[in-house]
């Protein structure tokens, strides 16, 4: 790292101190929503659980046993994760190729 880089970095850190009141105000505002923010993960977990239950019930309504329905639901989740990771890999490779040109 060059001495000019260090000087530039130090000047940015000095400027950052000027933003302390703004950051404090943002944190205070976000903190005022603490009750709502605490509810969000629980709501997401409830939605996720409801979806799994609906999947299991759907499989059971289509003639699968309870155990088979659970296994198929778990397999669906696993397949979704694999597909998501596969698409993410394709996107990363495409971005790497764009950057390499």
Which residues neighbour 70 within 8 Å (Cβ) at sequence distance 6 or greater?
Answer: 56
Cα–Cα dist 29/64, whole Å: 50
Across the range 72-81, mean pLDDT stands at 88
Query: 24-28, 76-80, 87-91: lowest mean pLDDT where?
Result: 76-80
Instruction: Tell me the residue range of the domain where 93 lies.
Output: 3-100
- Per-residue pLDDT tens digits for 7-57: 888 888 888 888 888 989 999 998 898 888 888 888 988 999 999 999 999
How many structural domains does the chain have? Answer: 1
Which residues neighbour 72 within 8 Å (Cβ) at sequence distance 6 or greater?
Answer: 55, 59, 64
Quick one: pLDDT band at residue 78, thresholds 50, 70, 90?
confident
CA nearest to 72, candidates 81, 87, 59: 59
């Amino acid at each position: 790292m060059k001495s000019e880089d260090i000087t530039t970095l130090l000047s940015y850190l000095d400027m950052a101190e000027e933003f302390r009141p703004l950051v404090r105000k943002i944190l205070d505002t976000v903190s005022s929503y603490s009750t709502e923010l605490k509810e969000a993960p629980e709501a997401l977990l409830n939605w996720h659980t409801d979806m799994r239950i609906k999947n299991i019930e759907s499989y059971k309504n289509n003639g699968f046993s309870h155990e088979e329905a659970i296994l198929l639901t778990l397999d669906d989740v696993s397949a979704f994760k694999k597909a998501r990771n596969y698409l993410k890999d394709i996107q990363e490779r495409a971005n790497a190729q764009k950057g390499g040109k």
